[in-house]
Amino acid sequence: MDRFPVFLDLHNRPCLVVGGGKVAERKVDSLLNAGAALTLVSPEITAEMDIIISGQNVQHHARLFTDNDINGQFLVVAATNNPGVNAHIASLADARNVPVNVVNDASVGSFIIPSVVDRSPVTIAISTGGASPVLARQLRMRLETMISPQCGELAGITEEYRDIVKKRLPEAQRKTFWEQALKGTFAELVYAGHEDDARRLLDEMLAAYPNGKTMGEVYLVGAGPGDPDLLTFKALRLMQQADVMVYDRLVSKSILDMANQRAERIYVGKEKANHAVPQDKINDLLVELAKQGKRVLRLKGGDPFIFGRGGEEIETLAENGVPFQVVPGITAASGCSSYAGIPLTHRDYAQSCTFATGHLKDGTIDLNWAQLSQPNQTVVFYMGLTGIEVISQKLQAFGRSGDTPAALIEQGTTRNQRVHIGTVATLPQLVKDSGVRAPTLTIVGEVVNLHDKLHWYEPQRHVIASEFSRNPPVEA
C-alpha cells in the first residue's frame, strides 16, 4: 500500500487553499462541505468561486501567497497555476509537518485528495495514488449508481440503536443481529424512505431476538429479457442478499450467476405442457420459505406483472401476511423490439401498441381479434409460437392485411438473438423454415419495416463490448 487512507475531522479546523481558479473551486467546495475554517489566498477568483465562498466560513485574501500564510494551518492545498509556487508551498508545509496537497502533481506534497462517494455519515474514498485520476472518477461513478442514496440514513438509524442493542443483547449476539437487520426488511424499508416503519421493525426484532421467529420477505424481481446489463440496480441488490432463489426457465445463467452464490436455488420453470412445479405450488412455496424467516428471491424473466403471473403470487403472499417487494423488469416486448431496431410506436406507422398472449390459461387463443386487427397499431404476441397459424388466420379473417409486416424475435437481447422478418400471411411458414424456438416474441405492424434501417444490435460485437464495460482497461 503506497498511501495510507485516512479520514480527517476538519470541523472548524484552519485550512489554507492557495489559488482561485477552476481546480481550486473543487478543493474549496470539498473542504467547506467537511466543515473547515478556510483561508483562501489568491489575487483573483472565478465567479463560481465567489458563489462557493459567499456566506461561508472563509477568509479571502486577495493577494499573492506569502510564507507566513502557512502559520497555524492544520492542512494546506496548493492549487495555483504556477508549479514553482506550488512546490514552494509544499516545501514550507513539509518543513512545518503540515499535510499539503499539490493539485495535478502527486509527486509533490504529502497527501492526495481522493474521489469521494458521499452518503454521510457513510463516506467512500477512491484513489489511484495519482496514477489515473480519470479511472478514480470512473470507479466513483460506478459506486454512485450501486449505493443507495438512503445509505446514510441507514447508518444514522443504526447509530441511534447502538446503545439500545448493547443494553439488550450480549456482545456475542450483536454482530449477528446487525448482519440480519442490515440484509433484510429493515434495510429495505430505509432504502424505500420509510424510516419510521424501519424503527418499529427494529424494535420488534430486538424484542423477539434471538428466540422469536422473524417473518422473512419475498422479492418479486423482473430479470428483464435476457441481457444482464438491463437489470435494475435494485434488482441486483436484492439478488445479492437473498437466502433462497426461486427462478424460472427464462432467466439466463449469466443473470443467475449475479445472485448470491450461497443462496439455495429452486428451479420452478414452466414450459407448455411441462410445468416443473404447478403455479399453486409455487405460490405456497414462497409463503412457506418466508415463514421460515428467509429472504426469498422470486426471479422471473421480463417483468413479473406482464404475463409473468406475478399478480397471482403476491395475492397469495398478501393473504398469508407475508411482506413482499415487486421490482419491475424490462418486459420482453420493450427489450426485444429495441434490440431488433423495431420501435413499438411511431407517428407515421403506429399510434398505439397492444400486448397479447398467444396462450391462454385454458390452452386456447380466444382473443379479441377484432381489436387486435385494427390498423395503425403494433401488436406484440407473447408465447405465440404454438398458435402461430391461428394468429395468422384470425388476424386476416378480422381484416388485417396478409401483407402486414411481422417479425419473430428469438432469444432477444442475448448473444443468440435472431430476427426473422415476414408478413402476417407468411408467419406459419416462416416458423417452419427458420426453425425458430421459444423464447420468441412475435411483432405485427408496419413498424417492422423499420428493422432494415434501424437495426443496431450485433450480438457478437456487443458481447465483446459488454465484457469491456465490466472489465475496462486501466487508463493512463
Question: What letter would DSSP give residue 302?
Answer: B
Evaluate whether 61 touches 39 at the Cβ level (below 8 Å).
yes
CB neighbourhood size of 81 (10 A): 14
| CA within 13 Å, CB half, 277 | 16
Task: List all residues 6 or more positions away from 416 whose beta carbon is below 8 Å from its beta carbon.
Answer: 410, 459
Task: List all residues 6 or more positions away from 238 whose beta carbon is below 8 Å from its beta carbon.
Answer: 188, 219, 221, 297, 325, 327
Residue (of 9, 3, 62, 63) closest to 37 by Cα position = 9
Query: Catalytic one among 183, 234, 270, 291?
Result: 270
Question: What letter would DSSP give residue 462?
Answer: H
Q: Is 43 annotated as a binding residue?
A: yes
Q: Is 412 annotated as a binding residue?
A: yes
Interstrand relation of 244-247 and 295-300 (parallel, antiparallel or unpaired): parallel
Q: Is 129 annotated as a binding residue?
A: no
Interstrand relation of 75-78 and 100-102 (parallel, antiparallel or unpaired): parallel
Q: Is 323 annotated as a binding residue?
A: no
Q: Is 89 annotated as a binding residue?
A: no
The whole-angstrom separation of Cα 411 and Cα 188 is 33
Q: Is 133 annotated as a binding residue?
A: no
Burial of residue 144 (number of CB atoms within 10 Å: 0-12, 13-18, 19+): middle
Helices 171-183 and 151-168: crossing angle in degrees, nearest 10, is 150
Q: Is 44 annotated as a binding residue?
A: yes
The whole-angstrom separation of Cα 308 and Cα 239 is 18
Quick one: cell of 254? 449469466
Residue (of 386, 383, 387, 436) closest to 408 by Cα position = 436
**What is the enclosing helix (H) or strand (E) of 313?**
helix 310-319
Catalytic residue status for 248 = yes
Cα separation values, 190 from 76, 104, 298, 309, Å? 38, 39, 21, 28
Quick one: cell of 220? 418479486
The whole-angstrom separation of Cα 127 and Cα 115 is 6
Residue (of 19, 47, 17, 18) closest to 30 by Cα position = 17
**What is the enclosing helix (H) or strand (E) of 240?**
helix 233-241
The whole-angstrom separation of Cα 239 and Cα 297 is 6
Q: Is 141 annotated as a binding residue?
A: no
Q: Is 306 annotated as a binding residue?
A: yes
Q: Is 99 annotated as a binding residue?
A: no
Query: Catalytic one among 248, 294, 300, 394?
Result: 248
Q: Is 389 annotated as a binding residue?
A: no
Catalytic residue status for 203 = no
Quick one: cell of 185? 426488511
Helical H runs in 119-191? 133-146, 151-168, 171-183, 185-191
Question: Angle CA(7)–CA(11)–CA(12) in degrees, nearest 5?
Answer: 140
Q: Is 331 annotated as a binding residue?
A: yes
Q: Is 300 annotated as a binding residue?
A: no
**Per the annotation, where are the binding residues for S-adenosyl-L-methionine?**
225, 301-303, 306, 331-332, 383, 412
What are the binding residues? 22-23, 43-44, 225, 301-303, 306, 331-332, 383, 412
Residues annotated as catalytic are: 248, 270
- Binding site for NAD(+): which residues? 22-23, 43-44
